[in-house]
Structures are given as C-alpha cells and as structure tokens.
Amino acid sequence: MLEPSDKRKFTRMGAECKMSYTHLGSGETGSGHSINLSAAGILFSTRKKLDPGASLDIVVKPVNTLTPPLHALIEIIRVIPMESGEFEVAAAIEGIKGT
C-alpha cells in the first residue's frame, strides 16, 4: 500500500487482474496482469517488451464480476525486465473509455 515516503498525488491500490491491450499505432494485441493502479497510472506485467512512449488501449478485467472492466488509453512511461522473463510496465492513464 502507500508508503510514508511515497510522494505520489494519488494512492495506488492493488489490482491484480488479467488485462489485454492493443497498440494504437500497429494494432498489435497482447495480454498481461495488472499489479496496481491509481487515478493517474497503472503498473502491469507482460511477456512482450513494450516501448516507452507507446500508446495502448487497455481493458483490465476484475475477478469480481460486480466490478466493471476498466477500459482506458495509456502511455507507457517505463519498462523494466524482471527475472521471470516478463516485463514490468508503468504507464500513465491518459483517458477512460466508456463500455
């Protein structure tokens, strides 16, 4: 959860769910696993290396069917390789799309 030394504007919440994305430039699709999100950003993991600055259309699918999916446009800020072979992706939420 939020650490006292964390200077972010918005609190990050755990949001461990499946997600999918579409690259707005190429139309290429992929999947991942969200880790956490806030009002301004999302952190997720994926097997495919994505490029900082790329724009994606994402859909985060909560486990609880009472919670609607998050459909948003994001811009990738950073990509970090993980020991598992996956990539941790931090992105800014640029806009929320309707269902």
User: Contacts from 60-65 at CB under 8 Å and sequence distance 24+?
Assistant: 60/15, 60/17, 60/18, 60/19, 60/34, 61/17, 61/18, 61/19, 61/20, 62/15, 62/17, 63/17
* Residue 3 counted as domain residue: no
Domain count, the chain: 1
* Residue 24 counted as domain residue: yes
* Residue 46 counted as domain residue: yes
* Residue 8 counted as domain residue: no
For the stretch 1-30, pLDDT in tens is: 445 445 656 677 777 899 999 999 899 999
Q: pTM of the entire structure?
A: 0.84
51: domain CATH number? 2.40.10.220
Range of the domain at 62: 13-96
For the stretch 42-60, pLDDT in tens is: 999 999 999 999 999 999 9
* Residue 4 counted as domain residue: no
* Residue 30 counted as domain residue: yes
* Residue 6 counted as domain residue: no
